[in-house]
Amino acid sequence: MYDQLKGFRDFYPGEQSARREVTDTIEAAAKRYGFREVATPALERTQMYTDKSGEGIVEELYSFTDQGGRDVALTPELTPTVARMVVAKGQELSKPIKWVSTRPFWRYEQVQQGRFREFYQTNIDVFGSAEPEADAEVLAVAADALTSLGLTGDDFEFRVSHRDVLGGLVRALAADPDAVDTADAIRAVDKRAKIDEAEYLTLLEEAGLDRTTAREFDDLIVGVDGVDDLDAVAEAGGEDVEAAVENLRAVLAAADDFGAGEYCDVSLTTARGLDYYTGVVFECFDSTGEVSRSVFGGGRYDDLIESFGGQPTPAVGVAPGHATLKLLCQRAGVWPDETLETDYYVLSVGDTRAEAARIARDLRALGHVVEADLADRGFGGQLGYADSINAETTVIVGEQDLANDEVTIKEMASGDQTTAPVAEFPPEAGRPTYDDYA
Protein backbone atom coordinates (compact mmCIF):
# COMPACT_ATOMS: atom_id res chain seq x y z
CA MET A 1 0.00 0.00 0.00
CA TYR A 2 2.77 2.46 0.87
CA ASP A 3 5.91 2.46 -1.22
CA GLN A 4 9.48 3.20 -0.32
CA LEU A 5 11.05 6.48 -1.48
CA LYS A 6 13.42 6.24 -4.42
CA GLY A 7 17.04 6.04 -3.30
CA PHE A 8 16.05 4.98 0.23
CA ARG A 9 16.51 1.41 1.39
CA ASP A 10 15.00 -1.01 3.87
CA PHE A 11 17.54 -3.45 5.26
CA TYR A 12 16.04 -6.79 6.32
CA PRO A 13 17.85 -9.02 8.87
CA GLY A 14 20.17 -11.05 6.61
CA GLU A 15 21.62 -8.07 4.76
CA GLN A 16 21.62 -5.98 7.91
CA SER A 17 23.64 -8.54 9.89
CA ALA A 18 26.33 -8.37 7.20
CA ARG A 19 26.21 -4.54 7.23
CA ARG A 20 26.46 -4.54 11.01
CA GLU A 21 29.49 -6.83 10.91
CA VAL A 22 31.22 -4.53 8.40
CA THR A 23 30.38 -1.39 10.40
CA ASP A 24 31.58 -2.99 13.65
CA THR A 25 34.83 -4.04 11.97
CA ILE A 26 35.55 -0.54 10.65
CA GLU A 27 34.67 1.13 13.96
CA ALA A 28 36.74 -1.41 15.92
CA ALA A 29 39.78 -0.58 13.77
CA ALA A 30 39.30 3.14 14.42
CA LYS A 31 38.84 2.53 18.15
CA ARG A 32 42.13 0.61 18.34
CA TYR A 33 43.81 3.85 17.19
CA GLY A 34 42.00 5.81 19.91
CA PHE A 35 39.31 7.37 17.72
CA ARG A 36 36.31 8.09 19.98
CA GLU A 37 32.72 7.83 18.86
CA VAL A 38 30.57 10.94 18.53
CA ALA A 39 26.91 11.19 17.53
CA THR A 40 25.50 14.11 15.60
CA PRO A 41 22.15 15.55 14.48
CA ALA A 42 20.42 14.68 11.22
CA LEU A 43 19.41 18.31 10.66
CA GLU A 44 21.55 21.45 10.47
CA ARG A 45 20.89 25.01 9.33
CA THR A 46 20.99 25.16 5.53
CA GLN A 47 23.21 28.24 5.76
CA MET A 48 26.05 26.05 7.03
CA TYR A 49 26.18 24.47 3.57
CA THR A 50 25.31 27.47 1.37
CA ASP A 51 27.93 29.69 3.06
CA LYS A 52 30.66 27.30 1.92
CA SER A 53 29.31 26.06 -1.37
CA GLY A 54 26.91 28.73 -2.60
CA GLU A 55 23.13 28.59 -3.09
CA GLY A 56 23.63 26.01 -5.86
CA ILE A 57 24.23 23.32 -3.25
CA VAL A 58 20.55 23.56 -2.22
CA GLU A 59 19.63 21.54 -5.32
CA GLU A 60 21.54 18.59 -3.91
CA LEU A 61 20.11 18.95 -0.41
CA TYR A 62 16.96 17.79 1.31
CA SER A 63 16.29 21.28 2.67
CA PHE A 64 13.11 22.88 3.97
CA THR A 65 11.74 25.43 6.40
CA ASP A 66 10.76 23.95 9.76
CA GLN A 67 7.66 24.90 11.79
CA GLY A 68 9.69 27.52 13.63
CA GLY A 69 10.69 29.19 10.35
CA ARG A 70 14.27 27.88 10.36
CA ASP A 71 15.87 26.94 7.05
CA VAL A 72 17.22 23.47 7.71
CA ALA A 73 18.74 20.61 5.72
CA LEU A 74 19.24 16.91 6.19
CA THR A 75 23.02 16.62 6.62
CA PRO A 76 24.65 15.69 3.26
CA GLU A 77 28.01 14.95 4.94
CA LEU A 78 29.57 14.95 8.40
CA THR A 79 32.52 17.33 8.03
CA PRO A 80 30.68 20.67 8.55
CA THR A 81 28.89 19.24 11.61
CA VAL A 82 32.06 18.03 13.33
CA ALA A 83 33.75 21.35 12.43
CA ARG A 84 30.85 23.13 14.18
CA MET A 85 31.29 20.82 17.20
CA VAL A 86 35.03 21.50 17.41
CA VAL A 87 34.38 25.25 17.27
CA ALA A 88 31.64 24.99 19.94
CA LYS A 89 34.00 23.42 22.51
CA GLY A 90 36.92 25.71 21.65
CA GLN A 91 40.03 25.05 23.72
CA GLU A 92 38.20 22.63 26.02
CA LEU A 93 39.07 19.56 23.94
CA SER A 94 42.60 18.15 24.22
CA LYS A 95 44.35 17.98 20.83
CA PRO A 96 44.59 16.03 18.65
CA ILE A 97 40.85 15.37 18.67
CA LYS A 98 40.17 11.95 17.11
CA TRP A 99 36.55 11.16 16.28
CA VAL A 100 34.69 8.35 14.54
CA SER A 101 31.00 7.98 13.70
CA THR A 102 28.81 5.88 11.42
CA ARG A 103 25.56 7.44 10.18
CA PRO A 104 23.29 7.93 7.20
CA PHE A 105 23.54 11.11 5.12
CA TRP A 106 21.18 12.44 2.48
CA ARG A 107 21.64 13.96 -0.95
CA TYR A 108 19.07 14.46 -3.67
CA GLU A 109 20.96 12.92 -6.58
CA GLN A 110 20.71 10.41 -9.42
CA VAL A 111 20.34 6.89 -8.06
CA GLN A 112 22.75 4.34 -9.57
CA GLN A 113 24.74 1.26 -8.56
CA GLY A 114 26.41 2.02 -5.24
CA ARG A 115 24.83 5.49 -5.02
CA PHE A 116 21.66 6.21 -3.07
CA ARG A 117 19.85 9.26 -1.74
CA GLU A 118 20.22 7.93 1.79
CA PHE A 119 23.75 6.56 2.17
CA TYR A 120 25.89 5.44 5.10
CA GLN A 121 29.43 6.49 5.91
CA THR A 122 31.90 5.95 8.73
CA ASN A 123 33.72 9.25 9.22
CA ILE A 124 37.17 9.16 10.84
CA ASP A 125 38.81 12.55 11.55
CA VAL A 126 41.83 14.03 13.33
CA PHE A 127 41.69 17.70 14.37
CA GLY A 128 44.57 19.76 15.71
CA SER A 129 47.65 18.35 13.99
CA ALA A 130 49.31 19.60 10.81
CA GLU A 131 52.01 16.92 11.06
CA PRO A 132 52.45 14.21 8.39
CA GLU A 133 51.84 11.61 11.10
CA ALA A 134 48.18 12.68 11.26
CA ASP A 135 47.66 12.16 7.51
CA ALA A 136 49.54 8.87 7.75
CA GLU A 137 47.44 7.65 10.68
CA VAL A 138 44.27 8.32 8.68
CA LEU A 139 45.71 6.22 5.83
CA ALA A 140 46.77 3.53 8.33
CA VAL A 141 43.40 3.29 10.05
CA ALA A 142 41.64 3.07 6.67
CA ALA A 143 44.02 0.29 5.55
CA ASP A 144 43.60 -1.48 8.89
CA ALA A 145 39.80 -1.35 8.53
CA LEU A 146 39.94 -2.81 5.01
CA THR A 147 42.38 -5.60 5.87
CA SER A 148 40.27 -6.40 8.97
CA LEU A 149 37.40 -6.99 6.53
CA GLY A 150 39.55 -9.57 4.75
CA LEU A 151 40.72 -7.37 1.87
CA THR A 152 44.39 -7.48 0.87
CA GLY A 153 46.89 -5.33 -1.00
CA ASP A 154 45.79 -7.16 -4.16
CA ASP A 155 42.27 -5.85 -3.67
CA PHE A 156 42.63 -2.13 -3.06
CA GLU A 157 45.01 0.81 -3.44
CA PHE A 158 45.09 4.31 -2.04
CA ARG A 159 45.88 6.87 -4.75
CA VAL A 160 47.57 9.65 -2.82
CA SER A 161 47.85 13.19 -4.15
CA HIS A 162 48.41 16.72 -2.84
CA ARG A 163 46.24 19.74 -3.60
CA ASP A 164 49.14 22.17 -3.19
CA VAL A 165 51.26 20.22 -5.69
CA LEU A 166 48.43 20.50 -8.21
CA GLY A 167 47.59 24.12 -7.41
CA GLY A 168 51.25 25.20 -7.26
CA LEU A 169 51.97 23.51 -10.57
CA VAL A 170 49.03 25.22 -12.27
CA ARG A 171 50.20 28.64 -11.03
CA ALA A 172 53.85 27.95 -11.93
CA LEU A 173 53.00 26.89 -15.47
CA ALA A 174 50.39 29.57 -16.21
CA ALA A 175 51.40 32.50 -18.38
CA ASP A 176 49.56 34.75 -15.90
CA PRO A 177 49.39 33.09 -12.43
CA ASP A 178 46.99 35.78 -11.18
CA ALA A 179 44.48 34.89 -13.89
CA VAL A 180 44.31 31.23 -12.85
CA ASP A 181 41.43 29.84 -10.78
CA THR A 182 43.29 27.11 -8.90
CA ALA A 183 40.12 25.59 -7.41
CA ASP A 184 38.58 25.30 -10.89
CA ALA A 185 41.75 23.66 -12.21
CA ILE A 186 41.74 21.14 -9.36
CA ARG A 187 38.06 20.41 -10.00
CA ALA A 188 38.98 19.73 -13.64
CA VAL A 189 41.59 17.17 -12.50
CA ASP A 190 38.97 15.56 -10.25
CA LYS A 191 36.70 15.12 -13.27
CA ARG A 192 39.51 13.92 -15.56
CA ALA A 193 38.65 10.21 -15.52
CA LYS A 194 34.91 10.84 -15.95
CA ILE A 195 34.96 13.10 -19.04
CA ASP A 196 36.64 13.03 -22.45
CA GLU A 197 39.96 14.71 -23.15
CA ALA A 198 38.56 17.69 -25.07
CA GLU A 199 36.13 18.51 -22.29
CA TYR A 200 38.89 18.14 -19.71
CA LEU A 201 41.24 20.48 -21.58
CA THR A 202 38.43 22.99 -21.99
CA LEU A 203 37.87 22.98 -18.23
CA LEU A 204 41.59 23.65 -17.70
CA GLU A 205 41.42 26.47 -20.24
CA GLU A 206 38.44 27.95 -18.43
CA ALA A 207 40.51 27.78 -15.25
CA GLY A 208 43.12 30.00 -16.89
CA LEU A 209 45.64 27.72 -18.65
CA ASP A 210 46.11 28.02 -22.39
CA ARG A 211 45.74 24.81 -24.41
CA THR A 212 49.46 24.10 -24.68
CA THR A 213 50.07 24.73 -20.98
CA ALA A 214 47.06 22.58 -20.11
CA ARG A 215 48.63 19.67 -22.04
CA GLU A 216 52.00 20.35 -20.41
CA PHE A 217 50.35 20.32 -16.96
CA ASP A 218 48.54 17.11 -17.75
CA ASP A 219 51.68 15.41 -19.07
CA LEU A 220 53.45 16.32 -15.83
CA ILE A 221 50.78 14.93 -13.49
CA VAL A 222 50.18 11.82 -15.58
CA GLY A 223 53.93 11.18 -15.67
CA VAL A 224 54.11 10.61 -11.93
CA ASP A 225 53.97 6.89 -11.22
CA GLY A 226 55.94 6.74 -7.99
CA VAL A 227 57.66 8.83 -5.36
CA ASP A 228 60.80 9.18 -7.48
CA ASP A 229 58.86 10.84 -10.30
CA LEU A 230 58.01 13.71 -7.94
CA ASP A 231 61.44 15.30 -8.53
CA ALA A 232 60.44 16.39 -12.02
CA VAL A 233 57.25 17.93 -10.69
CA ALA A 234 59.05 19.80 -7.91
CA GLU A 235 61.52 21.11 -10.46
CA ALA A 236 58.80 22.34 -12.81
CA GLY A 237 56.77 23.86 -9.97
CA GLY A 238 59.24 25.89 -7.99
CA GLU A 239 59.31 26.66 -4.29
CA ASP A 240 55.64 26.15 -3.29
CA VAL A 241 55.43 22.87 -5.14
CA GLU A 242 58.73 21.73 -3.63
CA ALA A 243 57.32 22.28 -0.14
CA ALA A 244 54.14 20.39 -1.02
CA VAL A 245 56.14 17.54 -2.56
CA GLU A 246 58.21 17.39 0.61
CA ASN A 247 55.02 17.18 2.69
CA LEU A 248 53.67 14.43 0.44
CA ARG A 249 56.94 12.47 0.79
CA ALA A 250 56.80 12.90 4.59
CA VAL A 251 53.25 11.58 4.72
CA LEU A 252 54.20 8.54 2.61
CA ALA A 253 57.27 7.89 4.81
CA ALA A 254 55.11 8.02 7.95
CA ALA A 255 52.54 5.77 6.27
CA ASP A 256 55.37 3.31 5.65
CA ASP A 257 56.29 3.34 9.35
CA PHE A 258 52.61 2.94 10.24
CA GLY A 259 52.24 -0.16 8.07
CA ALA A 260 50.13 1.45 5.33
CA GLY A 261 52.87 2.16 2.79
CA GLU A 262 52.22 -0.98 0.76
CA TYR A 263 48.68 0.25 -0.04
CA CYS A 264 49.73 3.75 -1.16
CA ASP A 265 50.51 4.88 -4.71
CA VAL A 266 51.32 8.44 -5.69
CA SER A 267 48.73 9.62 -8.20
CA LEU A 268 48.56 13.31 -9.08
CA THR A 269 45.50 12.72 -11.26
CA THR A 270 43.62 12.24 -7.98
CA ALA A 271 42.22 15.55 -6.68
CA ARG A 272 38.93 15.08 -4.70
CA GLY A 273 35.90 17.15 -5.56
CA LEU A 274 35.17 19.16 -2.40
CA ASP A 275 36.62 22.66 -2.19
CA TYR A 276 37.55 22.49 1.49
CA TYR A 277 40.48 20.09 0.95
CA THR A 278 43.89 21.74 1.33
CA GLY A 279 46.87 19.30 1.39
CA VAL A 280 47.23 15.56 0.99
CA VAL A 281 44.15 13.95 -0.53
CA PHE A 282 43.57 10.33 -1.46
CA GLU A 283 41.04 7.95 -2.93
CA CYS A 284 40.65 4.22 -2.47
CA PHE A 285 40.21 2.18 -5.66
CA ASP A 286 39.54 -1.44 -6.48
CA SER A 287 42.93 -2.73 -7.71
CA THR A 288 41.25 -4.97 -10.28
CA GLY A 289 39.24 -2.06 -11.69
CA GLU A 290 36.06 -4.13 -11.58
CA VAL A 291 34.51 -1.54 -9.25
CA SER A 292 35.25 1.37 -11.55
CA ARG A 293 34.35 4.23 -9.23
CA SER A 294 36.39 5.52 -6.31
CA VAL A 295 35.37 3.43 -3.29
CA PHE A 296 35.89 6.32 -0.86
CA GLY A 297 38.34 9.12 -0.17
CA GLY A 298 39.74 11.54 2.32
CA GLY A 299 42.28 14.24 2.90
CA ARG A 300 43.32 17.41 4.69
CA TYR A 301 41.05 20.36 5.32
CA ASP A 302 43.19 22.74 7.33
CA ASP A 303 41.11 25.90 6.83
CA LEU A 304 37.57 24.72 7.54
CA ILE A 305 37.51 25.10 11.34
CA GLU A 306 38.85 28.65 11.13
CA SER A 307 36.32 29.53 8.43
CA PHE A 308 33.65 28.33 10.89
CA GLY A 309 34.87 30.92 13.41
CA GLY A 310 37.20 28.65 15.39
CA GLN A 311 40.88 28.89 16.21
CA PRO A 312 43.11 27.78 13.30
CA THR A 313 42.85 23.98 13.56
CA PRO A 314 44.38 21.72 10.92
CA ALA A 315 42.34 18.61 10.17
CA VAL A 316 42.48 15.43 8.13
CA GLY A 317 39.96 12.64 7.69
CA VAL A 318 38.56 9.76 5.69
CA ALA A 319 35.00 8.54 5.20
CA PRO A 320 34.44 4.99 3.92
CA GLY A 321 31.04 4.88 2.20
CA HIS A 322 29.30 1.61 2.88
CA ALA A 323 27.55 1.15 -0.48
CA THR A 324 30.71 1.28 -2.63
CA LEU A 325 32.64 -0.64 0.02
CA LYS A 326 30.04 -3.40 -0.28
CA LEU A 327 30.70 -3.57 -4.04
CA LEU A 328 34.44 -3.95 -3.37
CA CYS A 329 33.92 -6.58 -0.64
CA GLN A 330 31.55 -8.55 -2.88
CA ARG A 331 34.00 -8.38 -5.80
CA ALA A 332 36.78 -9.67 -3.50
CA GLY A 333 34.53 -12.36 -1.99
CA VAL A 334 34.76 -11.07 1.58
CA TRP A 335 31.25 -9.67 2.06
CA PRO A 336 29.92 -11.41 5.21
CA ASP A 337 27.48 -14.28 4.96
CA GLU A 338 23.90 -12.98 5.12
CA THR A 339 22.25 -16.07 6.63
CA LEU A 340 20.64 -15.86 10.06
CA GLU A 341 22.20 -17.81 12.88
CA THR A 342 20.56 -19.11 16.04
CA ASP A 343 22.29 -21.08 18.78
CA TYR A 344 19.24 -22.83 20.29
CA TYR A 345 15.57 -23.37 19.74
CA VAL A 346 13.81 -24.62 22.88
CA LEU A 347 10.84 -26.70 21.77
CA SER A 348 8.03 -27.11 24.31
CA VAL A 349 5.29 -29.71 23.82
CA GLY A 350 2.49 -30.40 26.28
CA ASP A 351 2.35 -28.64 29.63
CA THR A 352 6.08 -27.89 29.84
CA ARG A 353 6.25 -24.13 29.24
CA ALA A 354 7.63 -23.26 32.68
CA GLU A 355 10.54 -25.73 32.41
CA ALA A 356 11.23 -24.85 28.76
CA ALA A 357 11.28 -21.15 29.69
CA ARG A 358 13.71 -21.86 32.53
CA ILE A 359 16.06 -23.62 30.11
CA ALA A 360 15.78 -20.77 27.56
CA ARG A 361 16.57 -18.23 30.30
CA ASP A 362 19.58 -20.21 31.51
CA LEU A 363 20.94 -20.57 27.97
CA ARG A 364 20.50 -16.83 27.37
CA ALA A 365 22.30 -16.11 30.64
CA LEU A 366 25.27 -17.94 29.07
CA GLY A 367 25.10 -15.38 26.24
CA HIS A 368 23.51 -17.61 23.59
CA VAL A 369 20.84 -16.69 21.04
CA VAL A 370 17.75 -18.68 22.02
CA GLU A 371 14.27 -18.74 20.55
CA ALA A 372 11.19 -20.53 21.83
CA ASP A 373 7.59 -20.93 20.69
CA LEU A 374 5.54 -17.72 20.61
CA ALA A 375 2.84 -18.99 18.25
CA ASP A 376 1.26 -22.01 20.02
CA ARG A 377 2.62 -24.40 17.40
CA GLY A 378 2.78 -28.18 17.62
CA PHE A 379 5.93 -30.28 17.44
CA GLY A 380 6.29 -30.23 13.65
CA GLY A 381 5.51 -26.54 13.32
CA GLN A 382 8.08 -25.65 15.93
CA LEU A 383 10.73 -27.87 14.33
CA GLY A 384 10.04 -26.21 10.98
CA TYR A 385 10.46 -22.77 12.54
CA ALA A 386 13.70 -23.86 14.26
CA ASP A 387 14.91 -24.91 10.84
CA SER A 388 13.88 -21.61 9.25
CA ILE A 389 16.01 -19.64 11.72
CA ASN A 390 18.98 -22.02 11.24
CA ALA A 391 18.97 -23.19 14.85
CA GLU A 392 22.14 -25.18 15.54
CA THR A 393 20.62 -27.18 18.39
CA THR A 394 16.99 -27.80 19.33
CA VAL A 395 16.29 -28.65 22.96
CA ILE A 396 13.05 -30.63 23.10
CA VAL A 397 11.13 -30.31 26.36
CA GLY A 398 8.28 -32.83 26.19
CA GLU A 399 6.06 -34.14 28.99
CA GLN A 400 7.57 -37.61 28.54
CA ASP A 401 11.11 -36.16 28.63
CA LEU A 402 10.37 -34.39 31.88
CA ALA A 403 8.75 -37.50 33.36
CA ASN A 404 12.16 -39.16 32.78
CA ASP A 405 13.96 -36.10 34.22
CA GLU A 406 15.46 -35.53 30.77
CA VAL A 407 15.43 -33.19 27.80
CA THR A 408 16.20 -34.18 24.22
CA ILE A 409 19.15 -32.52 22.47
CA LYS A 410 18.77 -32.48 18.69
CA GLU A 411 21.57 -31.47 16.33
CA MET A 412 19.71 -29.78 13.52
CA ALA A 413 22.28 -30.27 10.74
CA SER A 414 22.40 -34.08 11.10
CA GLY A 415 19.05 -34.69 12.77
CA ASP A 416 20.85 -36.76 15.42
CA GLN A 417 19.44 -36.59 18.91
CA THR A 418 20.22 -37.75 22.41
CA THR A 419 19.11 -36.92 25.95
CA ALA A 420 20.53 -34.86 28.81
CA PRO A 421 19.50 -34.80 32.48
CA VAL A 422 17.12 -31.84 32.88
CA ALA A 423 18.44 -30.97 36.34
CA GLU A 424 21.90 -30.37 34.89
CA PHE A 425 20.87 -28.68 31.67
CA PRO A 426 22.30 -26.32 30.70
CA PRO A 427 25.63 -26.63 32.52
CA GLU A 428 26.95 -23.54 34.29
CA ALA A 429 29.20 -22.55 31.42
CA GLY A 430 29.84 -23.28 27.76
CA ARG A 431 27.70 -24.07 24.79
CA PRO A 432 26.23 -27.55 25.21
CA THR A 433 25.56 -29.45 21.98
CA TYR A 434 24.62 -32.95 20.88
CA ASP A 435 28.29 -34.02 20.95
CA ASP A 436 28.50 -33.33 24.70
CA TYR A 437 25.78 -35.89 25.47
CA ALA A 438 25.95 -38.44 22.63
Contact set for its own copies, span 24-43 (CB under 8 A): 31-34, 36-43
Per CB under 8 A, which of residues 170..209 are in contact with its own copies?
Answer: none
- The distance of closest approach from Cβ of residue 268 to its own copies in the complex, given in angstroms and rounded to an integer, is 25
Closest CA to 294 of 188, 190, 189, 150: 190
Residue 78 assigned as binding residue:
yes
- The distance of closest approach from Cβ of residue 75 to its own copies in the complex, given in angstroms and rounded to an integer, is 10
d(CA 243, CA 280): 12
Q: Is 227 in the site for its own copies (CB under 8 A)?
A: no
- Which of 181, 338 has the CB closer to its own copies? 338
Of these, 76, 99, 279, 284, which contacts its own copies (CB under 8 A)?
A: 99
Is 393:434 a contact under the CB 8 Å cutoff?
A: yes
- The distance of closest approach from Cβ of residue 408 to its own copies in the complex, given in angstroms and rounded to an integer, is 20
- Which of 194, 353 has the CB closer to its own copies? 353
- The distance of closest approach from Cβ of residue 388 to its own copies in the complex, given in angstroms and rounded to an integer, is 4
Closest CA to 376 of 355, 356, 348: 348
Which residues partner with 408 through β-bridges?
396, 419
- The distance of closest approach from Cβ of residue 39 to its own copies in the complex, given in angstroms and rounded to an integer, is 4
d(CA 173, CA 191): 20
Per CB under 8 A, which of residues 107..146 are in contact with its own copies?
Answer: 108, 118, 126, 128-129, 131, 133-134, 137, 144
d(CA 107, CA 145): 26
Residue 102 assigned as binding residue:
no
Q: Is 257 in the site for its own copies (CB under 8 A)?
A: yes
- The distance of closest approach from Cβ of residue 426 to its own copies in the complex, given in angstroms and rounded to an integer, is 13
Residue 277 assigned as binding residue:
yes
Q: Is 402 in the site for its own copies (CB under 8 A)?
A: no
Closest CA to 237 of 133, 135, 162: 162
- Which of 62, 296 has the CB closer to its own copies? 62
Residue 328 assigned as binding residue:
no
In which order are the strands placed within the sheet that holds 43-45? 43-45, 71-74, 63-65
Site string for its own copies, 45-74 (x = CB under 8 A): x-xx----------x--x-xxxxx-x-x-x
SS3 category, 97:
strand
Of these, 175, 183, 193, 340, which contacts its own copies (CB under 8 A)?
A: 340
Name the pairing type of β-strands 342-348 and 391-397. Answer: parallel
- Which of 16, 330 has the CB closer to its own copies? 16
Which of these segments, 80-88, 172-180, 241-249, 397-405, binds its own copies (CB under 8 A)?
80-88
Buried b (16+ CB within 10 A) or exposed e, 1-26: eeeeeebeeeeeeeeebbbeebbebb
Contacts of 353 (CB under 8 A, 6+ apart): none
Residue 3 assigned as binding residue:
no
Is 325:313 a contact under the CB 8 Å cutoff?
A: no
Residue 47 assigned as binding residue:
no
Buried b (16+ CB within 10 A) or exposed e, 246-267: ebbbbbbebbeebebbebbbbb
Q: Is 85 in the site for its own copies (CB under 8 A)?
A: yes
Which of these segments, 96-104, 286-294, 323-331, 420-428, binds its own copies (CB under 8 A)?
96-104
C-alpha distances (whole Å) from 377 to each of 339, 372, 382, 403, 410 are 24, 10, 6, 22, 18
Per CB under 8 A, which of residues 294..323 are in contact with its own copies?
Answer: 308-310
Q: Which residues are annotated as a binding site for L-histidine?
A: 77-79, 107, 121, 125, 272, 276-277
Q: Which residues are annotated as a binding site?
A: 77-79, 107, 121, 125, 272, 276-277
